[in-house]
Structure 1
Amino acid sequence: MKDRIAASAAAVCVMKDNEIIHEWYSGNHHFHNGARKVDEFSQFNVYSTRVTYVGLAAAIAIYDGVIKSLDEPISNYLKNYDLNILGITTIRHLVTRTTGLQFQGNEVVVRKFAEGTSFEGKKPEVLAEIIKKATGKTVAEIITERVFKPLGFTQTEWRTEGKETLVCDINDPNSYPVLRLESNEGSDRNLYVTARELALWGNLHLNKGAFKGEQILPKELFENVTSIMTPNTLPVHLPRLGYFWWIQDKNVTNSEIGPDLPEGTYQILGASGCSCTVIPKHKAVVVRMTNSLWTFGGKNGFDYIADIQKFGNLVEQVLNEY
């Protein structure tokens, strides 16, 4: 698949029963001469996979009582927008991608559909703004303090400048490789992670906040993050989400999760092909990394969703055999 999507780099990391049981690394950080070989220290830009970090920061703020609840109206924080248009839209609608809103700049918002009635693109930057107003801290500050430091993470970073271990994005196999370097506040598309640390991120969720016998964050918090939080008003065939995690639900016909994966599986996928799949039934986490944007969104005849579903089905097959 790495070759099919014109990626220069790929990795797989599988955890089961809290241990890494398989790792695989292939390729180089880009296609040009002098490119660094991919290894366990290679940090991939995980793109939309980053939204689970924003979601956990929101869950922490809610658990701490700084944000009142998942059903608190976003109008309590976004005073610069038309409050009539924001209406009764809540933080629940934000984390489950059902707001019906389109934000245009810092002051203009347009309603596209009634909240909780259809599915939309992600808005992590809006949630991050709410978190910052509620807590006085950025997403990155909250997650670094409450997760990265206790777990000893050093290779999960919102990068503002380049370094040797960053894997480049491939927009086209014949063009120059690029790095996406943006704000270090925690909601932009510049989160670089190794395959191992993304697997450990998924495993922290699998263990409901426990790490090496110590409860790093409350169990209840993770139970909420990885359970269906989508409002009941959403048509049953549309995706069910926790705090941005896609949750396996057999009633859903429009999902990125492979249909063979069991109920309770949750997953997140990024534009470059990076994904983290957590399967409680198997006590397993499976991470895959690639660095290509060449086929994203159906470009160059590639079915992005069919690919991740096929990968998920393969994961289920392999874990059953294991």
Structure 2
Amino acid sequence: MNLTLNKSVFTDITLYTEKIKREMHASGSALVIMKDNRIVHEWYSGTHHFEKGARKIDIASQFNVYSTRVTYIGLAIAIALYEGYLKLDHKISNYLFEYDKEILGETTIRHLLTRCTGLKMKNNNKVERVFNAGTDIEGKKPDLLAKILFNVTGRTVNEVLTERVFHPLNWTHTEWVTEGKKTLVCDIHAPKSYPTFRLGSNIGNERNLYVNARELAMWGNLHLNKGLCDGKQILPKEIFDFVTTIQSPETLPKHLPKFGFFWWVKNNEVSCDYNELSSHLPEGSYQILGASGCSCTVIPQLNTVAVRMYNSLCENFDYIKDMERYGKLLISCLKNL
């Protein structure tokens, strides 16, 4: 299904989206590009899985966005920071009493949000230190932030965002899913594998956030406009000033990527050894990418948000090479608008 206002301009990036769908062994894909607060290109292709009778991908199709979900947790934390429940440079040992305080040491909320705690969490509330906080990059630990949020506010990530974002904006296709339904797109683990769903609680700390392409694009656009939507300030501007600008500590080596509140933020002053952001994106762009291939790219200089959705968890795919090429095509088509 193809809905677009400028079909010829977006031919190359649409064809590329389809090419990557095949290479990833995804059964479905979606592409939504917003510029100046309106959708200028929208494309849906494939099916919810490869089995007979599978539903076609359409506007209502909800993909599991995997790590893209961490930006939702980041915004919930930003709201708590703005409202005075937390401080960015407070030690996490002030909020996580079940872990060894000495090992947690000087690790702060900032370190958690920018992926540089140096901690390895183990079973039974055990923790060990792998490197000094703020000196290297690691995997994300959004579950710890969700736990901290509940400890200080008594509210879950889902409760905070539903009240402050989802309901005010009338979003009905963004949810931590607890049971299956026809709009959910299945995960594809291998070309011949049986399709699966990842379900969980609706707390907001697990990898079961399903979003349709339009609402993920609107999520990026909410950040782009710093909380302003249709003339109404949904959340204070200052919250987004924190979330979408570099918050990594100064101790982090210059060759490593920098983050806002989990968003990868483009800093053209430094060349990173590893970066999910295309070199073709302008300064100040920010992006998040999930394991299934779902991504949200925000380009403030061009007043643009681009969302790509896939449902593949197949291994041995070069995401960095793909995002580099995708970014180049995205900028190229935007310049031709």
TM-score class, shorter-chain normalisation, is: over 0.9
> Does the alignment pair 1:87 with 2:105?
yes
Q: Distance in 2 between matches of 1:140 and 1:181?
A: 15
> Does the alignment pair 1:282 with 2:302?
yes
Structure 1 partner of 2:328: 313
Structure 1 partner of 2:250: 232
Structure 1 partner of 2:16: none
Structure 1 partner of 2:141: 123
Q: Distance in 2 between matches of 1:82 and 1:316?
A: 47
Once the two structures are TM-superposed, the CA of residue 317 in structure 1 deviates from its matched residue by 1.3
Structure 2 partner of 1:215: 233
Q: Distance in 2 between matches of 1:105 and 1:317?
A: 47
CA RMSD of aligned residues (A): 0.7
Describe the superposition over 1:21-70 as per-residue Cα deviations: whole angstroms up to 9, x where unpaired.
Answer: 11000000000001000000000000000000000000000101111x11
Structure 2 partner of 1:293: 313
Q: Distance in 1 between matches of 2:328 and 2:288?
A: 15
Once the two structures are TM-superposed, the CA of residue 106 in structure 1 deviates from its matched residue by 4.3
- The question of whether the paired residues in 2 share the 8 Å contact of 1:161 and 1:181 is answered with yes
Once the two structures are TM-superposed, the CA of residue 252 in structure 1 deviates from its matched residue by 3.5
Structure 1 partner of 2:175: 157
Structure 2 partner of 1:194: 212
Q: Distance in 2 between matches of 1:78 and 1:66?
A: 14
Letter in 1 for 2:313: L
Q: Distance in 2 between matches of 1:79 and 1:164?
A: 41
Letter in 2 for 1:97: R
For structure 1, list consecutive stretches of 5 or more residues without a partner in the other structure.
none
Structure 1 partner of 2:33: 14
- Which one of the candidate residues 84, 89, 95 is aligned to 1:65? 84
Structure 1 partner of 2:263: 245
Structure 1 partner of 2:54: 35
**Count of matched residue positions in the alignment of Structure 1 and Structure 2:** 316
- The question of whether the paired residues in 2 share the 8 Å contact of 1:80 and 1:106 is answered with no
Once the two structures are TM-superposed, the CA of residue 258 in structure 1 deviates from its matched residue by 0.2
Structure 1 partner of 2:132: 114
Describe the superposition over 1:263-311 as per-residue Cα deviations: whole angstroms up to 9, x where unpaired.
Answer: 010000000000000000110000000000013xxx2xx2122112211
Once the two structures are TM-superposed, the CA of residue 105 in structure 1 deviates from its matched residue by 2.5
Q: Distance in 1 between matches of 2:129 and 2:201?
A: 28
Residues 106 and 207 from structure 1, CA distance in 2 versus in 1: closer, same or farther, beyond 3 angstroms?
A: farther
Corresponding residue SS for 1:102: strand
Once the two structures are TM-superposed, the CA of residue 174 in structure 1 deviates from its matched residue by 0.5
Corresponding residue SS for 1:3: helix
Structure 2 partner of 1:54: 73
Moved over 3 A (4+): none
Q: Distance in 2 between matches of 1:108 and 1:208?
A: 38
Residues 307 and 4 from structure 1, CA distance in 2 versus in 1: closer, same or farther, beyond 3 angstroms?
A: same
> Does the alignment pair 1:24 with 2:43?
yes
Describe the superposition over 1:2-30 as per-residue Cα deviations: whole angstroms up to 9, x where unpaired.
Answer: 01110000000000000011100000000
Once the two structures are TM-superposed, the CA of residue 161 in structure 1 deviates from its matched residue by 0.4
TM-score, scaled to structure 2: 0.93
Structure 2 partner of 1:266: 286
Letter in 2 for 1:141: E
Describe the superposition over 1:138-186 as per-residue Cα deviations: whole angstroms up to 9, x where unpaired.
Answer: 0010011000011111100100100000000000111110000011111
TM-score, scaled to structure 1: 0.97
Corresponding residue SS for 1:13: strand
- The question of whether the paired residues in 2 share the 8 Å contact of 1:240 and 1:252 is answered with no
For structure 2, list consecutive stretches of 5 or more residues without a partner in the other structure.
1-19
- Which one of the candidate residues 153, 162, 177 is aligned to 1:144? 162
Structure 1 partner of 2:3: none
Percent sequence identity over matched residues?
Answer: 60
